[in-house]
Amino acid sequence: MATQTTTMPRTPRPFNASKPPTGALPAIPNTLNSKPSLQALRRTSLLHTTSPSKSASHSFSNRPQSGIEGTPSLDRSGTPKRAVSIAEAFPRPPRNGDRVTSLPPPSPGHRAMPSSPLASPTRTANRDSLMHGPKSMASSTNLASRYSRDRDSGVGFLSGASTTSGSNEYTTSPPRSRSSSPLGSYSTNPTTVDMSPTASAEDLSRGRSADRDGEKEMKGNVIVSVRVRPDGPEDQMSPEWSIDGRRGFLSYSGKDGGNYEYDNVFTPSDNNAQVYEASAKRLVRRVMEGYHGTVFAYGMTGTGKTFSMQGTTSSPGVIPLAITDIFSFIRETPHREFLLRVSYLEIYNERIHDLLASQPGSTGFVPLDQQTKGEEIKLREDPKRGVYATPLKEEIVQSPTQLLRVIARGDLCRRVGSTQFNARSSRSHAVVQIVVESRERVAGNGNMADNRRAGINGGVRVSTLSLIDLAGSERAAEDKERRAEGAHINRSLLTLGTVIARLAKDADKDKDKGDGSHLPYRDSKLTRLLQPALSGNSLISILCTLSIPLAGVSVNLTNIGETINTLKFAARARNNIVSRAKKGEDFIAGIDAGSKALLERYRTEINDLRRELDLQKKREEQHLREKEEREWIQEREADIERHGEQLLEMQLARTALKERIEHLNRLILCSKSSGVNSAGINSARSSMIGPAPGHMSSMSIRSSIPSNQVVRFSTASSNPSSGDDHDEDSTGGDFNDGNATLSAQVRALQADLTDRNRYIATLEKRLLQARRSSQSRTSFGLGGRFTGEVVAEGRMEVLLKEKDDEIAELRARLDDKERMVSALRSAARKRDVAELCGKRFSGESELRSPVTVDSPKTEAPLPANADGRDGLVDCF
Ligand SMILES: Nc1ncnc2c1ncn2[C@@H]1O[C@H](COP(=O)(O)OP(=O)(O)OP(=O)(O)O)[C@@H](O)[C@H]1O
């Protein structure tokens, strides 16, 4: 026996690769002791066939009275069966078709099955073909919908199209469920109809309808199926075994044998697709509608649990088919939005490991003790969430491929070991958990406000689908490690059996309480994890796998015992588990879903992010506006600076002008002073001095004459002794060269005046331009927007006004100058005249007496002004 372990990906195990175990197996508590005879079974079968309508009429009234083990009537005859079901919420799948696998075996061509599981006819189809004659085979989807229609019409099973396979003939089973009996001998099964406020209208109407006529078949929330692994051709099976797949019966006539009835009995010829269709498909769809659902495979090692749950590439099992259906449902339900998250854990040697957080061995073949495993997971209990494992990695998945990939990754980390019965035996219980969150889709952001606007009050609905592949029960192995693992596996399975066996008593005892608090759920991690499902909060489908020996093959009694234990386990589960599963309420965000519904949290987060995005956008716009404003301000500041520079320039020009004017004034005064001592001038002055124009000019000029110059003039003029032409030359400065110099000064002054006029005109023009551009910028729509600009504009106005004033002043001065120039001219003319006269006069006097020449000098010395300046100034 190989004892090596591996983390290699699982590959399909070869058909009949292992033999059934022969070792001792843990005993399952047996609360059902009777062993119905094969005759009783046959009688039942016969009645099933001949009077199908009875099933409906006895749906709720009687418990089965047959001696079939697994029906509560065996030990609690007459006691109402406690199986609870939602009205149509989790309907039983159609019964098996013509799958009676009892001796004598069917004809060889009877079980010809199509190779593709999805395209293959289902058992229900087979049944249909038998009842209604051969018809073409429809797709599995069509079959499902037809099944649904028939169920609603009360027929309970497929009708209509079907197919024959070769020359096979099939019969359709009558509508029935575990709560119904064609014999009319089943005890009453008090069925709980989910009339909770969250039940859909469809559910309610179905419930009412079922209550009303009592003829409609009520569907159980707990489906128990048995699958027989093919150990060889079915017709070579041991004659002690009889399988009626169509009716869900299985009997063993050997030692400790009995007759058993289940919701489904799958023969070796049934493939994975058929198993899924009948045992899990409707559960999966109900999970999508808001119910919690649990599917688990139980059975002896090597009997096909993993094969049924995972399947192979060519024959996908329950898990991949469920995943396909989940996404089909999402596609078919456009008015809701979904969020799926998946976790994958294993219970190995009573320790929980997160398979999604673990790393598989890189070499692919790593001894168990060397396999890297993630952090140990603890189980916690919460009133809302029930029992859950934490911390557990959950991955959000968006497509079937992604989900399958995640699970495949977890599979790589699952502990697998070689045992006597299975080369790749699962050494742990593996739990895939898919959490489905859904909510009504609304236009807008999908927040609660949008919901209210759309008239939708509901929040997020959360449901969980648990798909569990249990480790197989096995006898004590020779290998120490395998033995230790086996002990843990067997102990947990034993606890599971014990809990299930005591569920019936528990329900009787704790009708009021019903919390199962005294049940040994805590004795193993497996039962603790399954507690919510076993205690009634979940729809359950249990698939028990077993292997039936071939005829003539020596049978190990231990194997037989283990097979019988599996059958008993299944029977008890079917009778004792009571499911009160209700559709999950829609959690309103912030109340219940706060910690649970990721969808709501994501929606809230999306809304928050959207708000943040809007805010960001606004901030960006604001930033852009501010930037533009800054740029505008900078432009204005540059303008102001430019204006400032221009102003400065103008100020400089003005200063230059002032200086020049002063200079010119000085020059003019000097030229006047040059005539101070001249008699001609003095005499002319008396005629020049008029009260009117000269006075204004003199006042104006005097005001701008520096006092030192005046003093100089005064000194010169107050010295009569030296006041002759010669003296005048010495004190007259640059212009003391007589008449010619005076005319030159006048010309220079005129040129200067022209220059200044031109310069002032330029200044005026520039000022005008500056004012205009400033005004146009201000009126460009931005004027007055900012205080700084207003201030700047105000300052500009003031400056411009100052400039205007200055120009006016300059103009006035210019006028003065012009007047002064014209006065000078006329003075020059008079002087010329005076000189001429003087020359003539002096020529005559020279002839007579030279003394008279000095007379003008003494004649009228210029009176000094009050400030001591030369009085000559006043002649201007
Ligand atoms: N219905 C079936 N049809 C074809 N092959 C099957 C079927 N059931 C099981 N097998 C084969 O039997 C072998 C053992 O099956 P599987 O590993 O699924 O058993 P198991 O119950 O999971 O065992 P363990 O508890 O040791 O993990 C595999 O090779 C598998 O391919």
How close is the Cα of 303 to the center of ligand 1, in Å? 5
Atom of ligand 1 nearest to the CA of 424: 17
Atom of ligand 1 nearest to the CA of 416: 27
DSSP-H helix ranges across 338-467: 400-413, 448-453
pLDDT band at 627 (very low <50, low <70, confident <90, very high): very high
Among 541-545, 579-583, 799-803, top mean pLDDT goes to 541-545
Query: Is the pLDDT confidence value at 311 over 90?
Result: yes
How close is the Cα of 870 to the center of ligand 1, in Å? 139
How close is the Cα of 263 to the center of ligand 1, in Å? 22
Average pLDDT for 43-66: 32
Task: Give the model's pLDDT for residue 361.
Answer: 56
Task: Give the model's pLDDT for residue 445.
Answer: 57
Selected residue with higher pLDDT from 422 and 589: 422
Selected residue with higher pLDDT from 292 and 183: 292
Residue 300 assigned ligand-binding role: yes
Query: Is the pLDDT confidence value at 2 over 60?
Result: no
- Mapped onto helix, strand or coil, the DSSP state of residue 41 is helix
Atom of ligand 1 nearest to the CA of 470: 25
pLDDT band at 7 (very low <50, low <70, confident <90, very high): very low
Task: Give the model's pLDDT for residue 542.
Answer: 93
Task: Give the model's pLDDT for residue 661.
Answer: 80
382 contacts: CB under 8 Å, gap ≥ 6:
388
Q: Which of 113, 234, 306, 488 to mutate to test the pocket of ligand 1 (most atoms within 8 A of CB)?
A: 306
Query: Is the pLDDT confidence value at 497 over 60?
Result: yes
875, containing H or E segment: none
Which region among 280-289, 416-425, 838-847 has the lowest average model confidence (pLDDT)? 838-847
- Ligand 1 proximity of 15 Cβ (cutoff 6 Å): yes
Atom of ligand 1 nearest to the CA of 272: 1
Task: Give the model's pLDDT for residue 714.
Answer: 37
| Residue whose CA is at the smallest distance from ligand 1 atom 1 | 229
Task: Give the model's pLDDT for residue 342.
Answer: 93
Residues 607, 446: Cα–Cα separation, whole Å? 8
Task: Give the model's pLDDT for residue 777.
Answer: 60
Of the chain, the percentage scoring pLDDT greater than 70 comes to: 50
Selected residue with higher pLDDT from 206 and 388: 388
Atom of ligand 1 nearest to the CA of 421: 26
Residue 306 assigned ligand-binding role: yes
Q: Nearest CA to 163 among 127, 109, 110? A: 127
Q: Which two tokens stand for residue 36?
A: 């119905």
For the segment 671-694, what is each residue's pLDDT rounded down to a tens digit? 555 444 444 444 434 444 333 343
DSSP assignment of 777-842 equals HIIIIITTSSHHHHHHHHHHHHHHHHHHHHHHHHHHHHHHHHHHHHHHHHHHHHHHHHHHHHHHHH
Of the chain, the percentage scoring pLDDT greater than 90 comes to: 14
Average pLDDT for 797-802: 82
Which region among 26-30, 321-325, 662-666 has the lowest average model confidence (pLDDT)? 26-30
- Ligand 1 proximity of 414 Cβ (cutoff 6 Å): no
Q: What's 396-426 look like in SS3?
A: EECCHHHHHHHHHHHHHHCCEECCCCCCCEE
Atom of ligand 1 nearest to the CA of 422: 26
Task: Give the model's pLDDT for residue 509.
Answer: 55
Q: Which of 3, 25, 229 to mutate to test the pocket of ligand 1 (most atoms within 8 A of CB)?
A: 229
How close is the Cα of 562 to the center of ligand 1, in Å? 16
Structural domains in the chain, sorted by start: 5-105+115-596 (3.40.850.10), 631-875 (no CATH)
- Ligand 1 proximity of 18 Cβ (cutoff 6 Å): yes
Q: Are 283 and 541 in contact (CB under 8 A)?
A: yes
Residues 317, 19: Cα–Cα separation, whole Å? 22
Residue 715 assigned ligand-binding role: no
How close is the Cα of 292 to the center of ligand 1, in Å? 27
| Residue whose CA is at the smallest distance from ligand 1 atom 5 | 15
| Residue whose CA is at the smallest distance from ligand 1 atom 13 | 13
Which region among 92-101, 173-182, 499-508 has the lowest average model confidence (pLDDT)? 173-182
Nearest-Å Rg of the Cα atoms of the chain is: 59
Residue 8 assigned ligand-binding role: no
Task: Give the model's pLDDT for residue 117.
Answer: 32
